[in-house]
Structure 1
């Protein structure tokens, strides 16, 4: 240890010296560490079981499915053994540390084989595993570097002054990860499954190191081991080892520091390989407003260096990943700036005397406003808002190094958010019962949070999401087509019923008819007319043939007429009836029976034959025929249809007003989404205009699965707009809308400031 470093000066109390000499501190650290990790390891194996089951269900071949199911059985059988072996490996590491043997996982090379040659002979699957392990360790070291910096100092004292490297700390991420992989020797699974286990381990366990690390550091502080240790960031890089070795005088605020690198000048072409650049005019306006709001920055106050900001953003991103995995809420977009500043001050020894570069502060503010707009945007469902809100840190990190994220409309990072927001407009939990859509969004958010900002393949994510959306869209289109075809069929039936009802009401309204004739006209012949309107909608002469039969039947059926019908006329009507009944699938026996009854009735009415039983025939008035107040259950279907239309006619319920709301309804295009406002205790309904009826001009709305939600006339929809019961959901790209809203807000604020009266000089 170098005496010049003030952090290396520690007053060891007699009690601490005694505990160190008796070896009482190290066992306590071991207890804290194992106590913190064991539940996480058990939880990991529970999640592994679920993940392997999901993979087996989605497997593309029987062989792969069997492999996953076999692995599930193996893991279930040996879960307790694996947890125990993991604890034993950790215990061995602590024993080696106590014996000053810091090479915890030394692997012996094959005798007589040169290391360089051996590297080329390493099995590819083994290399994949080693790379996965290295990647986990590297990420953990980066995200936990503040805690590890303290461990290096404090464990050095426990190691009797031997200056430790990160991997030599007995609780380091390397020890954790490699102790875990050592347990693989007890499992009989494929390398593919082992790689899956490592990936899940990275997600579920590494975030759980934070709590035991904090507890261990708190314990060591309590024991008096470097209680006043401050984390310090060196100019040379972000690695903890480099931070610790940097001479303190180079970090003093009294010495001049180079300015921050100009992040805006960096063109990250890797994020935008196409080189397309479409400038956002609103961004330019916002830039101008922000430049005018600034007072000159004090050049004597040093600024936080780029690597310090990167380190802090890395830590915040890891915490956001933890929040995602543990289903915790994120801090609000407006609080991110304060959190970043507080962390910068605590990470940097001289942080209280430093400031953020003005240009970077503008970027932080603008990204905060963008994500505040996103999480308040009523066009996005709440759960989607919450998930996308977790991307503020990685997007901020990216924007600090490449402002094209904000200014270029074709930037892939920007387009990804636009695509997700557009696809999410119609999403509801009710329609996504299996969670396919929401899980896809969460998976993409997780991928971004797990990646360094320089390594995020936004173009690949866009392609993957487009492929996913396309499959969903095809399924929806099939159901949507069926829904619209069904609606069209129902519309045609409805229109045919309306025309039939109109014909029967018009022709029967002035006549009292025999009960049998009334029954025939309102039931079987009503069906004949409906069928004729459906089949011959473009052949009016054929429809006319069936409508004229009503006049003929009424003529031969009424008593009071100047000239009685002849036998030939009656036979013609009865024959016509028989042909019509065959159209609507009456059986021959029923047709003969009805024809015989009608023929006999008409002969008697027209006085061609006398009544055989001398009973008087019952006649029905038109108002009785169409009245459903009495004997409703026995009334024909067409009568009920007429009654319902007169009560529930939408054109009579909603007033027709040709105002801006009507024009808005009239301007609706298929594919547009609407949110229908429901009662307070129920979730609003999101629906897409799928089809406009060519018959009634009704608008058919479907959900995100293509299933009918409702249909509305133009007057009904206009009335919903008028009463605030429906709102059109914007499908303009969310970045464009956010930029426009921010620019408008800034312009209004500047105008208000300019309008304020200025105090005149006394």
Structure 2
């Protein structure tokens, strides 16, 4: 890891110089435009000129932090919002905000070749971490956010801010490829995939290519070659498929018993590798079935299960169908005393590999049972596809793989199996699987259409779940829907209160005084504005200060954070229009509750006979004081937790029978608190950093891998085949 940090730091230093120079140029040009526009206020231009160096420094620090977060040298800080500097977005500012979003989108969608090369090289440095727009320091959104945060303290007027954004776009985004070329040059000098060649490809062309039969080319060449090279590359070898075949045959030639290889050898008298058309096996003459006959056998096998059954042949919901044996039995039935029906070695290998693949899907503990059952029904259909289009194994962007990965991702938060029929998402997934199994006839366009249909459905579901937010996005609508705004703000506050034993005064404070403040925030910014996450984090910090469950070191954190918290709450009450005397009285009462909670908590924790509560809430997981002693700073689980990025999915064990899956929504570093939400964005779990590390150590929480399901399963197959070849006789 030290070597990776050294390489990434080399890129970071170069990019800080390059990007900072571009930002400085953008601010210089923006200053000139602001100063020379008709009716300009010279003070505004002078203010930006005076603040230019500070903006560049803040921008540089933000970019540097993004690189440091990637290497684990620094974690993203989400602190309590300082309401003293709260700047609610005026409606005129929306034009600048929308403009920046458009610039980011355009910069990302330009399909920059150097960006693709940089992302690929960077991704190769981090095992187990996927580099994408959420964590790539050179992604346009990361760079745009760094500039937005850097220039915000200048408090430019909306028209001047728009000018600054446009100059940033022309000086930074338009020259981003040059910066990335320098970054790639550094990585090449460090020996990171020096011969990589990526050509930017038109997305519409790629979509059309998927609708014709796949070329049997090397996956790396196919992914990184030009369209012309792809057109002439039909004769190249399929290296990944060949590697798996060699490993599979190697395990057999090394004398490894069949059961030590992933279970799947075709019935002994039907599919031996090496059988040739016309060979005599005793009194039987070998007859190799043609490809169309093999597909007919698979259709027969599929019809035996029937549409009402899992086409995967799942037994008790625990294993995938051994297609090799199933096909072998059908071949036996078609043989007689004179003819031995068999299949060619290539088809045999593909049948085995598909069987192995689905076995690994069933072994993947991160995939919910309902998703396994749905994907399991596609096994025979995928086999028919792979027999006709072996690039399924090679191409991570194969439509069939994308479809299966989309299904797996959509069900990532499911933990129960008895309520899925009522879930619109499950019903749609079931419909998509039925269409794929029933209608597929080697037509990739059908799969592409199913992917588009499913994505459109998910988008519609997301819009439906956020209907109230969308109704309130328009400023005029918000003014006309004051009742909806009040209900929305109240609902969001209630979502943050997981524990039922929160002090009654605190609940009343949040649902009355603070509720009025949240209403003002929504009226000014709309749902999800720039202040929304900090406001929600403030609620979480307040609830932490009045929780009876405390851990070692919390008193020190409380002493440090509470003065600022109270000052912020005071500002919030001012914004909410609460009378000064009433606000002061409320804050004094709140301080009394906080002090009592800390005093009572430490008396209980320091009493030897005290025992933690065993109570659990159905919607959340609570921590107990006994689990909260400090861990060493170099504890491996503490270090791992510190690196968890926003958006990572975890599964918590609630009790012996129930689990809950949720994603990390916020890390509040001031109190070392991690906040998790479910698939609908509702807070369901909050953990201290130490508590989460202890649960990880105890095995009561696990990370749900975000790598695509089929990629994970393919890697597992290759890994087990490699183990098979090295297993001693």
What TM-score, normalized to structure 1?
A: 0.43
Higher relative contact order (CA 8 A, sep 6+): 2
